[in-house]
Structure 1
Amino acid sequence: MNVYILVVDDEPDVETLFRQQFRRDLRSGRFQMEFAPSAPAAIERATDVRDPSLVLILSDINMPGMSGLEMLPKVRAERPDVPVIMITAYGDAETRKKAIERGADGLLTKPIDFALLRQEIDSRLGQAA
């Protein structure tokens, strides 16, 4: 089974950063990462991947057009089985509260602690196995 992680961010350098951080996992085929440049594209992709192979969505909060917080209830309605972790530069209590109220499974602040993210991914992969 191909296991996917969907990363949603409008910044093009995010894809390069994530591919560098997880290059061994990606090369070995442990999981695949797909990248969506906007919330609408992420909702479409999450809807298209209908089997359990989509194990995690990582989404930036601040994006033009539809924000990650606006996307959250829509993607949760389509894919309640897929955990969503929000990523923000502003890890204040109010942002965290809004994210959790709208269905987020967690909140990571920038700069991203990739060791912590790796633990989260390992946990999701274990649950998907």
Structure 2
Amino acid sequence: MNVYILVVDDEPDIEVLFRQQFRRDLRAGRFQMEFALSAPEALRRAAELREPSLILILSDINMPGMSGLDMLPQVRAEYPHVAVIMITAYGDAETHRKAIERGAVGLLTKPIDFTLLRQEIDTRLGQAA
């Protein structure tokens, strides 16, 4: 089964960074990564991927239009088994609280700790197997 991780960030450079960080995993076919530049685009991509192949959404919080926090309740309602981790440059307690209250399983601050993210992905892959 192909499993997908959906990365949502309005910065196009994020795709290059993630593909570099996870190039071995992607080449080995452990999972596939899809990218969306906005929350509405992410919701469309999630609908195309569907469960159970979509196992994790990594979303920036601050994006123009619909923010990651605004998208979160809709994702939780439509895809309750898909884990969502929010990513922000501002890791303050209030942002963390809002993310968790709206259904995120975690919050990563930029610059992203890819070792920690890899552990989280490994956990999700284990649960999907």
The equivalent of 2:46 in structure 1 is 46
Q: Which moved more, 1:29-38 or 1:49-58?
A: 49-58
What code does the residue aligned with 1:110 have? K
> 1:67 and 2:67 equivalent?
yes
- Give the drift of 1:75: 1.1
The equivalent of 1:4 in structure 2 is 4
What code does the residue aligned with 1:3 have? V
State the distance in 2 between where 1:88 and 1:36 align: 16
- Give the drift of 1:101: 0.5
After superposition, residues 24-39 of structure 1 pair within 5 angstroms as 24-39=24-39
State the distance in 1 between where 2:26 and 2:91 align: 28
Instruction: Give aligned-pair identity as a percent.
Output: 83
Unmatched 5+ residue regions in structure 1? Answer: none
**Structure 1, residues 45-73: CA drift from partner, whole Å, max 9, x if none?**
11222230111000000000000000000
Normalising by the residue count of structure 1, what TM-score does the alignment of the two structures yield?
0.98
State the distance in 2 between where 1:85 and 1:39 align: 14
After superposition, residues 1-129 of structure 1 pair within 5 angstroms as 1-129=1-129
- Give the drift of 1:97: 0.2
In the alignment, is the contact (CA less than 8 A) between 1:9 and 1:60 conserved in 2? Answer: yes
In the alignment, is the contact (CA less than 8 A) between 1:47 and 1:79 conserved in 2? Answer: no
Aligned length: 129
In the alignment, is the contact (CA less than 8 A) between 2:15 and 2:35 conserved in 1? Answer: yes
**Structure 1, residues 54-110: CA drift from partner, whole Å, max 9, x if none?**
110000000000000000001111101100000000000000000001110100000
State the distance in 1 between where 2:6 and 2:24 align: 17
